[in-house]
Structure 1
């Protein structure tokens, strides 16, 4: 009973993974119920006959470097160059994000080589990984990028600007007399201020080549890839004005009854003899110059 074909077929049909078996020519010789059901739920006609058709013609993508690489790796298993192959890939539908893992393994049976292709849904794991990665890059209070993500982003953007021979601009922003706000109104008011300032800053860094991050305490940074001084300076002046108009109370500030910021703005043209530390140091120096000059002020330079 338990070694009959019907029993083994029933076992395979209860497995939630999508399983196909192909011969050494790539022809499908078996698919389980989960494979068929997945096809039906994704627009494959109900009368589709899987057995007897070539696997690559039926379901393997053939365009793009990654797809061609996957096809080559599966063929290596078919041809005996390797015994197995593993691949993770997105397979999003119009209504949801989905990821799958493909395991390809070969075995010898009755003097013939057959290959088992197993697709399993790993969406829950991938979503958890994406969430963990997101949390590792985000400052929990402000929702901005954290220092770690900023460092990684700036390194990558610096290299990109070297390759493209384009400028990069960095603003280092400090809330004026933030300690006075904490001392007079309490840390809750300070946190609310940081959240409000962060929400404003997000509106000034929306391109893929931009990043806005909490650098530490009440200090923030904005990086504009592929941006020179003229356009970046306009944005920073508008940012300062937007913050003033928000009228966040800071009653004990020596320069204003509301929150203001000081900014150091530096533009660099990266080359192979420079590093991202150059623009960080320049923006930091300019920020302290703005603070020494009375605050609620911006200092800028191209280095």
Structure 2
């Protein structure tokens, strides 16, 4: 059988892995069907029908300039192969969407065709393996009482989700929830009842997080923290208002509370569009400031600090 270019293209198009070929300058010379199909259905990762106009290294450098360490690592590794510094390069990296967690393994290797030199970059989907690894790792990141993520998981997730939202120029919203006069509830009914109230609260808060870009965590004591990626403040406020209504409908008694005779919560909310200048510790501090304001203004309410321009945290 004669191995025509069309025959070879058909073989490459039958492969599930995303394949791209670049020249020594980094300009894309070829992509297979899987690459194009993935790019057409995903905005989060570089790909698409306009590949002929793209320089792969330039796209990695753009991601790196926005704080994406995987983009920086990819650019460095590819250049090392292009310059003959190493024969091959491998990199595992995440490429999550708002609705799905995904990971890929990148492999870069040289290709000699007649007198011309090219480089083949293959992206292999390793999501199934990474999800299994995450499941094991998650056991160390779960709060033993409530069964939801703990403070360690919150810190790691906030860092990763802010980086993703920064790359996509999308907002991220953060809320800190504190149960009002919870010590009085513990003192009145005992710690076993208090523990059950924490579990009930966690279950109600979990109803507000439904996507891979969302997280509800036990922040400490009777405090909880919520993260919503790619979510504007008004959307987050609607979810929190529904939580407060559900908590009120639960009628969990706290008879000695000066706020209400049942369990209530105060909430601090803030939102930003992250940039490389954004400080995640400051973001948490601002949500905490709004929580303090909610308590000062009578509790059982939400106080928020709005989204400003990208990277700004407005008063």
- Name the TM-score, length of structure 2 as normaliser: 0.56
Deviation, structure 1 residue 294: 1.1
> More deviation in 270-279 or 190-199?
270-279
**1:260 maps to 2:213:** no
Distance 1:253 1:155, change over 3 A: same
Q: Cα RMSD between the aligned structures?
A: 2.4
SS at match of 1:221: strand
Equivalents in 1 of 2:132, 2:159: separation in Å?
26
SS at match of 2:259: coil
Q: Which residue of 1 aligns with 2:275?
A: 271
Distance 1:128 1:301, change over 3 A: closer
What is the aligned counterpart of 1:177 among 174, 181, 204? 181
Deviation, structure 1 residue 292: 1.0
Q: Which residue of 1 aligns with 2:211?
A: 207
Deviations 1:37-77 (A, max 9, x none): xxxxxxxxxxxxxxxxxxxxxxxx954159xxxxxxxxxxx
Equivalents in 2 of 1:180, 1:172: separation in Å?
20
Q: How do 1:54-73 residues align onto structure 2 when only pairs under 5 Å count?
A: 63-64=16-17
Equivalents in 1 of 2:131, 2:151: separation in Å?
23
Distance 1:127 1:174, change over 3 A: closer
Deviation, structure 1 residue 277: 1.4
Query: Structure 1: which 5+ runs fail to align?
Result: 1-60, 67-81, 83-125
Distance 1:131 1:211, change over 3 A: closer
Equivalents in 2 of 1:240, 1:63: separation in Å?
46
Q: How do 1:215-254 residues align onto structure 2 when only pairs under 5 Å count?
A: 215-254=219-258
Q: Which residue of 2 aligns with 1:133?
A: 137
**1:295 maps to 2:299:** yes
Deviations 1:85-129 (A, max 9, x none): xxxxxxxxxxxxxxxxxxxxxxxxxxxxxxxxxxxxxxxxx9996
Q: Which residue of 2 aligns with 1:36?
A: none
What number of residue pairs does the alignment pair up?
188
SS at match of 1:159: helix
- Name the TM-score, length of structure 1 as normaliser: 0.58
Equivalents in 2 of 1:275, 1:133: separation in Å?
26
Deviations 1:6-54 (A, max 9, x none): xxxxxxxxxxxxxxxxxxxxxxxxxxxxxxxxxxxxxxxxxxxxxxxxx
Deviation, structure 1 residue 249: 0.8
